[in-house]
A and B are shown apart, each in its own frame.
Chain A
């Protein structure tokens, strides 16, 4: 029996009997064992398999807790007062409790992605069968995260099914550890959180490669088509269907139906959040511009509904507001839910006749419907949209306040300031109302870009002013111009690209990879993202984006009216800007890092997690930025990057994740690695000096980005380039020299060429280094040796002498 794998076979002697084997426990392990691929020591690691590596890393990058609440309310012993790091009735202290909560946040995010993956995979296997081959473009490593963690090299949808079972098992084991009265050590909760983050990237990868393989998405495409984006790109005179969420499974049927019936010119199909991005990838392999439009991010959800423009809303899962139904029904917009994670209390109409459902929704008898039959949905949603458009027009549905009413509304404001206390970004609403009373709309226009449309101001207002509506009404002309371009998600990075660029990355001559990911809880509006990408692209960093960040980046244009997507190539090279795709496409970013080790450095990656994470931390100058991170998913994505050795910077809102990983550069003994050639110890610079931290402003982050790309293995040219950017960015954005630049200098050739002489003078005068001025050589001073052929590692077992 153990020889059998998935498939079917007939038994000769018995007629008409066919036995179908769907899954054999251990089949995949067998297959891994029998393949001639070399396996690393941690194939399908359990919760504790990588614990030593984690403890090693956490010894340098300490968990820093900033609890949101100093109580614990987990069980009936409590609530317990844990302030001052006291212990609760069960014995857990505040640090442990916070670590536990952080881990829970991470696995919630991982569950969101892999739950999405499971749903999608079921759906796609139903349509295409288990043997449907995986095809993600020009690569021999179809699934780098899957292979790295599990040793499996999946070839079909069915192979993904098996890996996903492993993912689900790990998430269950981690969740079990949250139960009170067991794990007590904060550091082990941290290790579990890292495990969850790693597992998340496997789950994300499964989701994305399944949909890329089946739905004609771009496959490692260097020139994916451009899609329209912005609240202004919807022609609101047409019937408008808006979809919200992350799981495009159901929406493809709508797109197909619209194509079939020639409805693409009759009505508008727009999306919010990642489903929108994935709609523009659907059937984009042929590079024709997508019909579907991207309205924007989560921050535009409430605004889009309140605008009254949608005639029907379809939601799937994840980043969708819990009040969509309530908000939409006020404006007679029917809502259709399509996923069992989000049902809004609606009746399941999956088995009902379409005409009956249409009758109930058009008459307003029901506010919405739950629909699991996607073929039916494909027809229902467009037809309903066209009908509702007419009905809503006839009824004269009024959405935002009239312009003439704005002054009267402004005059009801008593300037109590409650809204500003409630507003997550303390936006100056009271002042904007004062100006509005005088007929000046500009302050509200200014607020529009910064407002994330959470609606908290409205709940706080004692005068019941619909502040969000006022912001939107005042910004109508601005909103109509909100039109941009974004590249449809290209999917993974191809092997030829990695082969070409790997050497530059590892030696440091390409200064680094900056990955801009995450959601829309930005501290100071969306333009920050553009500012970061623009600056780093000009400096030849590789910029990779995904999800809501990829969308918002496309909203800004240069003097010639071009977005960054139109200015920079979508190639994995110095000065390239790539949109990998939706949230689950973040796995291609870690995937690219893994491929650098596999393809460029010829490392075995199968089940070899530690070694690859070690390689990344010491050699690949990559840094993640989640400037507007808001959800648990961002916590899991970032944590997965961390375990792989990629540091991540969050915007100030990211402090609300309540946990960071920050080192102490002054702890000198922590900044050593081994040289794999002989096991000797090497001093290394304190960069990156965090694995997860927050920055207050974009200006502060710019030099942090440059410093975070410095790695022990940089050669002299690479170190010089990286130091040049670090010094220049510090001077440009902070107005001073960085006070630690000299700590990264190993030899005179590490110094930026244009400033070499001046910097040598400073080294001599301020730091007491000895300089041979005739030869412009450093004689003594640096804490580190310069030896570019050294092989830095944190793993003693990889050393020759060990």
Chain B
């Protein structure tokens, strides 16, 4: 089992509330159990083929709808995942609104999973969700993201891929 919760060092702190470090198998099980999950995929997945491959696998295996932020959608065209482009700042705004009907018109989400985002950007966007929504946010990035509900610690790209594989096994 790969241990991803050792290094939770931060480049700067966001105050009182910090996310709980989570292991891949636990994260995998939580994603599977979520009632209305949404996988939010950032543009950084395009910089690493292995990462993009795992992203698509996660979406498919757990049958997760994907909110493709930045220009990540260009990596998912014809991949068979149910992905829609949306700006992440707008998305986070809608996620705080109980009246939003979701990307598919079926209603608000209960859990969002973050993968492939710029570290400081996602932390910032999640700070809005942490303060102004009741959403559960699971970060499976390769950095410790303080503003998520749960997050991996700081890990190397290699360990990240291993961790994602383990998460996929547990979906």
Contacts and interface: CB of A to CB of B under 8 A. Distances in A.
B74 A64 contact: no
A664 B17 CA distance: 28
A721 B160 CA distance: 45
A62 B71 contact: no
Given A70-B130, A424-B120, A733 B92 contact: no
A734 B93 contact: no
Contact of A699 (B10, B71, B131): B71
Given A418-B9, A694-B89, A739-B85, A70 B100 contact: no
Contact of A67 (B14, B43, B90, B93): B14
B10 A696 contact: no
B14 A69 contact: yes
A339 interface: no
Given A64-B93, A70-B14, A426 B73 contact: no
A690 interface: yes
A652 B43 CA distance: 12
Task: Name the residue among B42, B119, B125, B131 with the largest chain A CB count within 10 angstroms.
Answer: B131
Contacts of A696: 42-43, 69-71, 87-88, 117-118, 121
Given A422-B11, A696-B42, A734-B73, A65 B16 contact: no
Given A66-B92, A696-B121, A735 B77 contact: yes
Interface in B64-119: 69-71, 73-74, 77, 84-85, 87-90, 92-94, 97, 100-101, 117-119
Nearest to A456: B11
Contact of A734 (B16, B85, B100, B121): B85
Contacts of B11: 421-424, 456
Interface string A694-724: 1111011000100000000000000000000
Contacts of A689: 90
B121 A652 contact: yes
A83 B85 contact: no
B93 A62 contact: yes
A478 B13 CA distance: 36
Given A70-B131, A696-B88, A83 B71 contact: no
Contacts of A738: 85
A50 B43 CA distance: 40
Interface in B116-162: 117-121, 124-125, 127-128, 130-132, 143, 154, 156
Contacts of A704: 87
A247 interface: no
A84 B74 contact: no
A655 B121 contact: yes
Contacts of B92: 64, 66
Given A666-B101, A735-B74, A421 B121 contact: no
A421 B127 contact: no
A690 B89 CA distance: 10
A664 B92 CA distance: 11
Given A67-B14, A85-B131, A733 B71 contact: yes
Given A658-B124, A696-B121, A739-B85, A70 B15 contact: yes
A95 interface: yes
A655 B126 CA distance: 11
B94 A664 contact: yes
A64 B130 CA distance: 13
B125 A66 contact: yes
B29 to A, nearest CB: 26
Interface residues of A, number: 50
Contacts of A456: 11
A736 interface: yes
Contacts of B15: 67, 69-71, 81, 83
Interface string A80-106: 011111000000001100000000000
A662 B89 CA distance: 8
Contacts of A84: 17, 130-131
A700 B87 contact: yes
Contacts of A658: 124, 127
Given A71-B15, A84-B131, A696-B70, A656 B87 contact: no
Nearest to B69: A696
A700 B43 contact: yes
A83 B17 contact: yes
Contacts of B124: 66, 68, 655-656, 658
A55 to B, nearest CB: 19
Contact of A421 (B94, B118, B154): B154
A653 interface: yes
Interface string B23-48: 00000000000000000001100000
A84 B135 CA distance: 12
A739 B84 contact: yes
A95 B132 CA distance: 9
A66 B90 contact: no
B130 A83 contact: yes
Contact of B128 (A66, A697, A700): A66
A574 interface: no
A664 B97 contact: yes
A652 B127 CA distance: 14
Given A64-B93, A695-B87, A699-B43, A655 B71 contact: no
Contacts of B131: 65, 67, 70, 82-85, 94
Interface in A551-610: none
Contacts of B128: 64-67
A83 B149 CA distance: 13
A693 interface: yes
Contacts of A71: 15-16
Contacts of A733: 71, 74
Given A422-B11, A652-B118, A736-B77, A85 B97 contact: no
A694 B93 CA distance: 12
Nearest to A66: B128
A283 B130 CA distance: 54
24 contacts: A64-B92, A64-B128, A66-B124, A68-B124, A69-B13, A83-B15, A83-B16, A83-B130, A94-B131, A94-B132, A417-B154, A421-B11, A421-B154, A653-B120, A655-B125, A666-B94, A666-B101, A696-B69, A704-B87, A734-B71, A735-B73, A735-B77, A736-B73, A736-B85
Interface of B: 9-11, 13-17, 42-43, 69-71, 73-74, 77, 84-85, 87-90, 92-94, 97, 100-101, 117-121, 124-125, 127-128, 130-132, 143, 154, 156
Nearest first, the 4 A-B pairs at minimum CB distance are: A696-B70, A699-B71, A735-B74, A655-B124
Interface of A: 62, 64-71, 81-85, 94-95, 417-418, 421-424, 426, 456, 523, 652-653, 655-656, 658, 660, 662, 664, 666, 689-690, 693-697, 699-700, 704, 733-736, 738-739
